[in-house]
Structure 1
Amino acid sequence: MPSDYSIAPITDDKEWDAFASTSIGGTPFTTSKWLKNVEEVSGGQQIRLGLFKNATLRAGLTAIAKRRGPFIQLGTPELSPHTGILLCNTPEGKGPTKREAEWQAACNHFIQYLSNRYDHIRITHTPDLTDLRPFSWAGWDLNLRYTYQLPLENQTESELWERVERRTRTAIRKAEKLGYECQETDDIDLLCDQYEKIYENGPTPINSDLVRRHLRLAFQAGLTQIFSVKSNSNETAAIVAFVKNENMTYAWVAGADPDHNNSGAASLLYWRYICQCSQNHFDFVGANLPSVAFFKRGMGGNLVPYYTTEYFRNEFLRNIVKVKSLFNRR
């Protein structure tokens, strides 16, 4: 690493949050409060690194480190859509080439630092970070993923309605005619129960107990709001926990009762919540399964790519992780 660059942990919460809140790649999932909750739920150790150039903080990186037997893993934790690299929002020079050079320098320094310390690294970066070539050039795996994001700034309700697909508008009107109503709730147990109902024909993608613990801690810390939609017979048809910062709202954890799948209630819930959002953007958090993507596309968001970068110290470890992934999919 050139002598004018150095990487060091950032342990002061105020210093970290001040940087993360104004950086490219900063989200609610990179704040000190969120990371402390993840640390408690996961049993891992939060890693907050700063890349300094001539003692000035130019980039950061956050993830969770855990020991798995003889191996040390670093990654974006479950139930955190993104962590990864954060880049200072004020480039040192003018023009796109200066920004690209600064970004690539940050990637290269973190790649060298992390690969010398961890056996397996899997980090999901935000859609704001579009140039992940340095990881590929360094021999890391790049996995392309997608989400839908809906721009809300200066959009009237009628303009947002025009973006919604016809089939989804029909579903929303149907739910309204059937008398479904949306409301805020604090019923974490109900959300967890309906999260499990979505996957009643197979295993949940994330352990239900972990989801429950994470939801409870996030709610107690004021990091999430929960909204549900109920029928006129007081049955909850769908329920979603949302996480937000000043610029973006994220649909974090969702549940639904399959008995109400054809009611349009879930579409109504998202529509009503979006209409009252004060943020500039709404992220539906993932569109990587056909059925999920089909539902979320109907709300009129833009399809946005993002990347997961993955490193293995050796092929033996790569094979172990692949085998474990195959068993987890059953």
Structure 2
Amino acid sequence: MTIPTQPKVPPMPSNRAGSVIRSPAQITVSAVDPCSAEWDALLGAFPDYTIFHTSAWLATIQAAYGVRPVCVKAERGGRCVAIWPYLEQRKGPFRIIGSPLPGWSTAYMGPLIAEDVEVQELLGAFLEHRLFKRYAYFACRTLIHRHDVDLTPFGFELVRKFETYWTDLSRTEEDLWAALESRCRNSIRKAEKTGAEIRLESDAGFLEDFWRMSEETFAKSQIQPTYTREFCQQVWERLTPARHLHALSAFVDGKRAATLILPFNSHTMYYWGGATFQEFRNIPVSNLLIWRSILDAKAMGLKRYDFISSDGGPGRFKKSFGPQAVDLARHWERSPSRLLKILKDKYSAYLKRKRHIQAAQ
């Protein structure tokens, strides 16, 4: 079986080796070693880069799911004006590209583009390059905070919009406290009165408890956790040496009651994973834990705290911490074959049912 070919974007000439494509504006597109210091150095030129664009996070996905990271840059006049990481995997004869794929517990990715360049021209230069050719399915989540990234002209379908909540950490601690809803402040005080203690996790020993918490937390919705046990392990092993991970737990009477796993980069801390043991549900330790993590992020000199949307919307509980709602990302998908798209949709529905069935067992 052959992989269907893509509808062509406006063609641009290639050199004889085929390794670099140049647009009329002299945009050159080439691969970067995803494990190299060059990749992370390039990220620094893009203010909106996320922890999910970093080599440490790409290595986490690779180790947990056995996929191959590919990092691509676009240059003009010797200056890097855009980057686009993705990971690829094979399903039989089919090549699948994700930036990211659903199910990889990765909130954001997609291209990052300099502010002084034409977005559609750069997208065309990327998507005409051989590194972005011959795939059966391509999923991408783009950030729109600085650029209105529109993939529709390139045959992509807009599947979902993502809002999140941001807390501005430039505010004083007093202002952050005042911004909390009264019910949230009361819950924090209540947890403090119980003697709950917040500790920074320093080794991987907490992960066993975190996984059991996660199973209990998600079981309330009759589903399995959105992340795997192996992925949590890889997050710790890959991000801790890179100094990109902050993990906090709340202890009640010496027992671990709740845990937060919080990746961060040079400007943002991300509420990636949080869970609580059912036996401590009557104590609002989660409110205290999140409040402490916001203060920690501020003390670390970070600019914002991103609560991350898990299903397109930011959620009522997170809203109680007084953040700002931000329309931040778009999820796009493209498949050159209608049949493959139908099969993908059926497989996605099967996985969703499987999560519910296994959680109920």
Q: CA deviation at 1:241?
A: 1.1
Pick from 113, 118, 121: which aligns with 2:138? 121
2:295 matches 1:275: yes
Give 1:281's aligned amino acid.
Answer: R
Q: Secondary structure at the match of 2:322?
A: coil
Q: CA deviation at 1:160?
A: 0.4
Mapped partners of 2:67, 2:169: distance in 1? 36
Residues 145-203 of structure 1: CA distance to partner in whole angstroms, max 9, x if unpaired?
Answer: 121111111x1111001211122112111111122121111322222222222123322
Mapped partners of 1:217, 1:276: distance in 2? 21
Q: Secondary structure at the match of 1:199?
A: helix
**Range 244-253 or range 12-21, more displaced:** 12-21
Q: Secondary structure at the match of 1:7?
A: strand
Q: CA deviation at 1:280?
A: 0.9
Unaligned runs of 5+ in 2: 1-11, 13-22, 354-361
After superposition, the Cα gap between the structure-2 partners of 1:228 and 1:289, relative to the gap in structure 1 and judged at 3 Å, is farther
Give 1:183's aligned amino acid.
Answer: R
Paired position in structure 2 for 1:95: none
Give 1:237's aligned amino acid.
Answer: A
Mapped partners of 1:207, 1:150: distance in 2? 28
2:249 matches 1:228: yes
Residues 294-316 of structure 1: CA distance to partner in whole angstroms, max 9, x if unpaired?
Answer: 11111111111211121112111
Unaligned runs of 5+ in 1: 92-98
Mapped partners of 1:227, 1:160: distance in 2? 20
**Range 160-169 or range 112-121, more displaced:** 112-121
After superposition, the Cα gap between the structure-2 partners of 1:194 and 1:130, relative to the gap in structure 1 and judged at 3 Å, is farther
Pick from 141, 145, 150: which aligns with 2:162? 145
Q: CA deviation at 1:108?
A: 2.5
Mapped partners of 2:110, 2:351: distance in 1? 24
Is contact 2:64-2:230 (8 Å) kept?
Answer: no
Q: Secondary structure at the match of 1:67?
A: strand
Paired position in structure 2 for 1:197: 216
Mapped partners of 1:191, 1:205: distance in 2? 13
Paired position in structure 2 for 1:261: 281
Q: Secondary structure at the match of 1:286?
A: coil
Task: Output aligned runs, 1:1-330, within 5 Å.
Answer: 1=12, 2-3=23-24, 4-11=26-33, 13-75=36-98, 76=100, 78-88=104-114, 91=116, 99=117, 102-113=118-129, 116-126=133-143, 128-133=145-150, 135-142=151-158, 143-153=160-170, 155-185=171-201, 186=203, 187-200=206-219, 201-231=222-252, 233-277=253-297, 278-286=301-309, 288=311, 293-305=315-327, 306-330=329-353
Mapped partners of 2:140, 2:257: distance in 1? 34
Mapped partners of 1:199, 1:86: distance in 2? 33
After superposition, the Cα gap between the structure-2 partners of 1:129 and 1:44, relative to the gap in structure 1 and judged at 3 Å, is farther
Q: CA deviation at 1:265?
A: 0.7
Residues 42-86 of structure 1: CA distance to partner in whole angstroms, max 9, x if unpaired?
Answer: 211111001122443211100111111221111115132212101
After superposition, the Cα gap between the structure-2 partners of 1:276 and 1:210, relative to the gap in structure 1 and judged at 3 Å, is closer
Aligned length: 316
After superposition, the Cα gap between the structure-2 partners of 1:303 and 1:128, relative to the gap in structure 1 and judged at 3 Å, is same
Q: CA deviation at 1:213?
A: 3.5
Q: Secondary structure at the match of 1:40?
A: helix
The two structures have a TM-score, normalised by structure 2, of 0.81
Is contact 1:242-1:249 (8 Å) kept?
Answer: yes
Residues 6-60 of structure 1: CA distance to partner in whole angstroms, max 9, x if unpaired?
Answer: 2110127232222112214312221223322322222111110011224432111
Mapped partners of 1:181, 1:104: distance in 2? 51
After superposition, the Cα gap between the structure-2 partners of 1:315 and 1:129, relative to the gap in structure 1 and judged at 3 Å, is farther
Q: Secondary structure at the match of 2:272?
A: strand
Residues 120-159 of structure 1: CA distance to partner in whole angstroms, max 9, x if unpaired?
Answer: 11122235354122x0233311220121111111x11110
Mapped partners of 1:150, 1:253: distance in 2? 17
Is contact 2:271-2:308 (8 Å) kept?
Answer: yes
Q: CA deviation at 1:208?
A: 2.8
Is contact 1:196-1:208 (8 Å) kept?
Answer: no
Q: Secondary structure at the match of 1:227?
A: strand
The two structures have a TM-score, normalised by structure 1, of 0.88
Q: Secondary structure at the match of 2:330?
A: strand
Mapped partners of 2:136, 2:27: distance in 1? 24
Is contact 2:335-2:341 (8 Å) kept?
Answer: yes
Mapped partners of 1:145, 1:261: distance in 2? 29
The CA RMSD over aligned residues, in Å, is 2.1
After superposition, the Cα gap between the structure-2 partners of 1:28 and 1:197, relative to the gap in structure 1 and judged at 3 Å, is same
